[in-house]
Structure 1
């Protein structure tokens, strides 16, 4: 069933407003009595798009998870990077994560909530990840999950759920997610924009859209918290709860009802984008980061930008960056991955050029060849394996840097994850905030290759056409 595009202005003008100060008081009261440790599993590093002052761990060892439980902050993130995994790899990882969370929770005598943070354009290993987590936690503890909350709203990226249909904003129009380029993803594609039908499609019919629970904008905006709570109290058998939202106020109102239902004994798994984590984690608003906050050591070296993502928005932003006089460009011909010797020579050339220019005080943008490597429809797993080889090579550019850049920007979720964990060897980072809406910045830990460097995680599918160029020029200003 095709859903029509909708005008942003028309949709938003017809949604009733609510008393935000009253809602703020209500959510603060509920959060004060919510004593769960919130663990967010991030399938790429962009899930910290809405938070600040929160730890991100880049492994899921019992030691790291135990450290997260011991922190004062109610929430911490674990970067899984599982969007770059095969199904078998993500199954193994989530079994380990689930077991270690249960063990750490027992050690610290804490209740917990797991949020599987997925892409706001609905790509990723769903429902595999949340099913594995559910099965593992239930097997290792006495917890039984009643339902799964699906909440992909992400305001900063223009992702809204209205009448149970998930939309992606393009300019002044809302386009149903199933009709965007994201739905055509070779690994994680889908056809449905109605979230109930999407969940039915992704579960191969195991869960029926008509039997799911839907939290409407009407009930949220009428502040009918009791009704929403009762909806949640009636969910069972791991059925799906679809949450409509067009602004943070909707997530706040839903969270009030959610916490009340949890206090009455309900257990939920979550598949959400980045908005829910900000609300349930009690994260305050903060202004965008300034150059002065990010550039602390007065280096004469240039900065480094690495562009790995191939989505349309990245390509537009890259074309805009090319107009800047502040950057030198190095193309990395990753198609040579099919010729190992040539690929190694090409990588050496890129590394040498990048080192030389950064030392000379030039800002360098390394970009992978813009055409996708296409092996054919029946070789998706082979393509994924080659993409891992390519990602390893891109990561090694950072690993082999001999000079500390003034800053590092990585464009694309999987690219930024690999550079953070393997290139920069980060074990734990702190989210400093955002440099643009939806574009987070890590401050790297003492154990990393470049301690305390500002690492900008620039999602492939977020930002205006000029954001990448403007961010680079802001950080490059002497």
Structure 2
């Protein structure tokens, strides 16, 4: 279906500026604490603090920057359900204590995949329960807004779509993402998807639709819907573009002023809209050069490292283009050997070859392209964790021997583990997108990765040229 097909019969978009949202938020708004189930959620924002841990000191530092939102990388998409639930509870409990220490109020956002993969409703249930236990205020509604228009994810008439203007759009339940080994699903209508994911606990008719005709009627119309919610009732929100997200933000702010409380389960651009941040221009080679100059690192290799863990078809196509354009040194991490007896010898060989390769040009370090899965979702997660442990070990050893000029991590779980455990980034600032609306660059604060631009690149965004375009920017000398 074309975009025109999807939007046929819907009212025209209503222009809303980011400044209008900022004005509605006021001079001293509540801060958003964004629990990000992998680091790719930062690709729609700029100049906000990012944490890979959640000690009270870390959260107090982030809240103390005065930023309207702070990101906490939970990496929960790589965890089993019990661990993911505990982690969400721990982060919220710690965030509440840090907020009290900083004398600010917080709202909580559960940022997850725009193609509907992740621990739902487990995470929003855990967040809602933890908030209620902290201050005896119940959550009235769970706002479901997974849309990510920059990456071709739209929700219209409650049905979620994936695609592009060039290739058209299909219901997301028909895509490869719906066949995920751990988080698969069949429903594209968000109302039916909620019923599917809650095993019928929440039937489709209990999910409130907030469709484009109601949304584009204005903030009062949105607030009227949201004010009707009670007992963490889900609301499925139609979003086709940035203006829709800003209308939603204005409606949320009005409902919150009326005393309503929400937990948000959303795609990447939601936070940008709710804090009234303008859409950031993509970073330039000059921006990257300025970051390098400010860090004063003289020990960096002349070239960078691209770490690929994602197995979606788009990533494979992007690798093909990078291969054709830049002819990087390619080193494969053999998953079968990582899972077998030859693990240690194989990893040492990979490290040696990677360090040597960084002297000559860009190095692509990728897992073997044949996806290895288990007999169940839990088995597949266990395999993914073991492979990720190997990737982390490799990156850590490479950093110790010859830090690369930049690091790009391709894939959500991969980028989280490489940041937190491979590069040992605990605090960073997301500086902005590398491409329009997608692919974020982090500036690490202290630690062994200080001065090394770190690029978080989701497996399921961009086109076949996007990875090569990002490497071109990072390789250019200002």
Normalised by the length of structure 2, the TM-score is 0.94
Equivalent residue pairs, number: 466
SS at match of 2:324: coil
Match of 1:158 in 2: 152
Residue 70 of structure 1 and its aligned partner are, at CA, apart by: 2.0
Q: Is the 8 A contact 2:355 2:402 kept in 1?
A: yes
Match of 2:440 in 1: 440
C-alpha distance in structure 2 between counterparts of 1:368 and 1:157, whole Å: 24
Is the contact between residue 300 and residue 361 of structure 1 (CA under 8 Å) also seen in structure 2? no
Deviations 1:344-386 (A, max 9, x none): 111111100001121x23211111100011333xx33223112
- Cα distance in structure 2, aligned partners of 1:190 and 1:11: 22
From 120, 140, 150, the counterpart of 1:146: 140
SS, match of residue 246 in structure 2: helix
Give a deviation string over 1:281-328, Cα, whole Å, max 9, x none: 222222111112113248662110111100111111112222134411
Query: Is contact 1:306-1:366 (8 Å) kept?
Result: yes
Out of 384, 390, 405, the residue aligned to residue 387 of structure 1 is 384
Greater displacement, 83-92 / 329-338: 329-338
- Alignment check: 8 A CA contact 1:301 1:404 kept: no
- Counterpart CA distance in 2 for 1:10 and 1:207 is 30
Give me the whole-angstrom Cα distance separating, in 1, the residues matched to 2:396 and 2:119: 28
Q: Is contact 2:141-2:230 (8 Å) kept?
A: yes
> Deviation of residue 244 (structure 1)?
0.3
The residue that corresponds to 1:137 in the other structure is 131
Residue correspondence of structure 1 range 3-82 to structure 2 within 5 A: 6-12=1-7, 15-20=10-15, 24=18, 26-32=20-26, 35-82=29-76
Q: For 2:141 and 2:405, how far apart are their aligned partners in 1?
A: 46
Cα 1:374–1:274 change in 2 (3 A) is closer
The equivalent of 2:97 in structure 1 is 103
Instruction: Give the match for residue 464 of structure 2.
Output: 465
Aligned residue for 1:362?
361
- Which residue of structure 2 lines up, in the alignment, with residue 284 of structure 1? 278
Residues of 1 paired with 2:404 and 2:353: CA distance? 14
Residue aligning to 1:172: 167
State the alpha-carbon separation in 2 of the partners of residues 412 and 123 from structure 1: 13
Alpha-carbon displacement from aligned partner over 1:25-68 (angstroms, at most 9, x marks no partner): 64232122672111001000000111010000111112212222
Distance across 2 between alignment mates of 1:232 and 1:152: 17
Deviation at 1:13, TM superposition (A): 6.7
Give the Cα separation in 2 of the matches to 1:338 and 1:285: 43
TM-superposition CA deviations, 1:155-179 (whole Å, max 9, x none):
1111000000000015431110111
Show the counterpart of 2:217: 222
CA distance in 2, matches of 1:444, 1:176: 38
Aligned equivalents of 2:263, 2:424: Cα separation in 1: 30
CA shift for structure 1 position 477: 3.8
SS in 1 for 2:44: coil
Structure 2 unaligned blocks of 5 or more? none
Q: Distance in 2 between matches of 1:201 and 1:125?
A: 13
SS at match of 1:49: helix
Determine the C-alpha separation between the residues in 1 that align with 2:474 and 2:31: 36
